[in-house]
Structure 1
Amino acid sequence: MTHASIQALDLSVRFKSRLLFHIPQLNLAPRDAIYLTGDNGVGKTTLLKVLAGLQKPTTGTINIHQHTFFKRLFSGCYEGSIIYLHQTPYMFDATVFNNVCYGLRYAIKDRQKRRNEAINALRMVGLETLANEHVSVLSGGERQRVAMARAWVLKPSVLLMDESSASMDQESINRQVILAEDLLSRGTSLVITSHQQNALTALCRRQWTINDTQLIERAELQLVKDTNKDNYAYA
């Protein structure tokens, strides 16, 4: 699996006369798990899209250091690349199975291997029985599970999760956590935004907060769980 580290220098985004943020330096290493916080409108989604290469910054450079083979898969997506997971992920007009399999067509030539990988991913998110259903029958949380499975099979170096747990119930979040933990163990870096601390944000040991156009970093987070609820808070 490809590992990657990201270094950004003098990174800023400006909309006309408004400065959204300016970040002198940003570093993301393999196996980092970062909780990105900040008020609505401060630029969290914009920062993730810039890191994913989906949006150009106004100033700055982003250097991605790949540690193994870098292979093109589809539509700008690479094995071991950066994948951006949106709160309302795009679904292809196809079955659940075909949505998960889409990128694997170029990564795995053997059809049975592709099928096994996709079914395994769907099993991990609890949607194996819906593999042959059209995605139109899925709830918002189930769509997010499919999107997570689709990202997981590609084994990205960096996974940027933008409010991906917002429409999920506790079971769906727990399923997402299983795949996120597996990716972390393989060397994937995670950056997670969420308005609520939960089992997914509990994976994070660093925190970035965008405040007043600046990025503030807090490291070595200590997590405390409310034993009476499925709530988490950083101490």
Structure 2
Amino acid sequence: MTAKLLINNMRMNFGDRLLFAAPQLEFAQGDVIYLQGENGAGKTTLMKLLAGLVAPSSGSITATGFPARPWWRNQRSVLGRAIYLHQYPYLFDGNVKRNLTHGLKFIDDDKKTIDLRVEQALEMAHLQHLINRTASHLSGGERQRLAIARAWVLQPKLLMLDEPTSNMDKYSQSLIMQMIHQLRELGTGLLISSHQTCELTDLCHNQWIIQQQLIQASAIVATSVTTEDTQYELAN
């Protein structure tokens, strides 16, 4: 079954002000979506909503097609269903290896498979020589490569990238692109926020645009910036 997040009649307010609304949206495995909007439109907030880090003011976000959770975890919660990677990623105290392997304690794969995946992630991110370096001592590009590698090693069903290559040197950008290409080939659903078109946004075949407090979804036409829009109108 395809893993997906379903938005239904969602509204997000800040106090009395409506930030945005979307009667119906879907983010699923295999999707590659370009998220656009002016500064302050709510792109980061939308990603946090989908990650389960904040709750909508009204409406719902539901998860379907994901493996069953342990009995003691909320089966209906979207928290942890989609991985959210901020442009200034949070890294744990400790070294590169600890950061890379932290989430693997929740993975059911055998140790040999996990060790191989960690080795591959270090190689793709070109961090092998830094495996014992304290994460706080890494450069900006190294920190972002580590964050992407940490997501890659989990092979998530859904991944959200908030300005993943901003202020990054070309060397780090090329390494991150390789990891994102691999995730795409594995079927990971990608939601990508970027202020400008680039190699990363060229991967996208759909787009969500936050405009005039509405989220508009459309297919991207490869030969033109023209799109076949499906506009979601705010319900009265």
Q: Would you say same fold, with TM above 0.5?
A: yes
**Structure with a larger share of its residues in strand:** 1
**Structure 2: distance between partners of 1:30 and 1:114:** 22
Percent of matched pairs sharing the same residue = 41
What are the ranges of 5 or more consecutive residues in structure 1 without an aligned counterpart? 225-233
**Corresponding residue for 2:219?**
219
The equivalences for 1:1-235 within 5 A come to: 3-66=2-65, 69-71=67-69, 81-107=81-107, 111=111, 113-222=113-222, 234=225
In structure 1, the residue corresponding to 2:182 is in which secondary structure?
helix
State the Cα distance separating 1:149 from its structure 2 match.
0.5
| C-alpha contact (below 8 Å) 1:3/1:188 kept by paired residues | no
TM-aligned CA distance change 1:106 to 1:216, over 3 Å? closer
**Structure 1: distance between partners of 2:109 and 2:27:** 32
TM-aligned CA distance change 1:220 to 1:196, over 3 Å? closer
In structure 1, the residue corresponding to 2:195 is in which secondary structure?
coil
In structure 2, the residue corresponding to 1:218 is in which secondary structure?
strand
Moved >3 Å (runs of 4+): 75-78, 108-115
**Structure 2: distance between partners of 1:193 and 1:120:** 26
| C-alpha contact (below 8 Å) 2:19/2:213 kept by paired residues | yes
- TM-score (norm: length of structure 1): 0.85
What are the ranges of 5 or more consecutive residues in structure 2 without an aligned counterpart? 227-236
**Corresponding residue for 2:231?**
none
Q: Could you list the per-position Cα deviations for residues 56-81 of structure 1 after superposition, in whole angstroms to 9, with x for gaps in the alignment?
A: 000111121115x3456xx9999x93
State the Cα distance separating 1:112 from its structure 2 match.
5.1
In structure 1, the residue corresponding to 2:119 is in which secondary structure?
helix
| C-alpha contact (below 8 Å) 2:11/2:20 kept by paired residues | yes
**Corresponding residue for 2:232?**
none
State the Cα distance separating 1:221 from its structure 2 match.
3.2
| C-alpha contact (below 8 Å) 1:3/1:187 kept by paired residues | no
Which residue type is aligned with residue 114 of structure 1? I
Which residue type is aligned with residue 14 of structure 2? F
Which residue type is aligned with residue 92 of structure 1? F
**Structure 2: distance between partners of 1:223 and 1:121:** 34
TM-aligned CA distance change 1:209 to 1:130, over 3 Å? same
| C-alpha contact (below 8 Å) 2:125/2:146 kept by paired residues | yes
In structure 2, the residue corresponding to 1:10 is in which secondary structure?
strand
**Corresponding residue for 1:227?**
none
TM-aligned CA distance change 1:3 to 1:71, over 3 Å? farther
Aligned-CA RMSD value = 2.4
In structure 2, the residue corresponding to 1:187 is in which secondary structure?
coil
Give the count of matched residue pairs.
Answer: 221
State the Cα distance separating 1:110 from its structure 2 match.
5.2
Q: Could you list the per-position Cα deviations for residues 131-165 of structure 1 after superposition, in whole angstroms to 9, with x for gaps in the alignment?
A: 11111221112111101000111111110111121
| C-alpha contact (below 8 Å) 1:34/1:204 kept by paired residues | yes
State the Cα distance separating 1:116 from its structure 2 match.
2.8
| C-alpha contact (below 8 Å) 1:85/1:161 kept by paired residues | yes
State the Cα distance separating 1:113 from its structure 2 match.
4.3
**Structure 1: distance between partners of 2:106 and 2:19:** 38
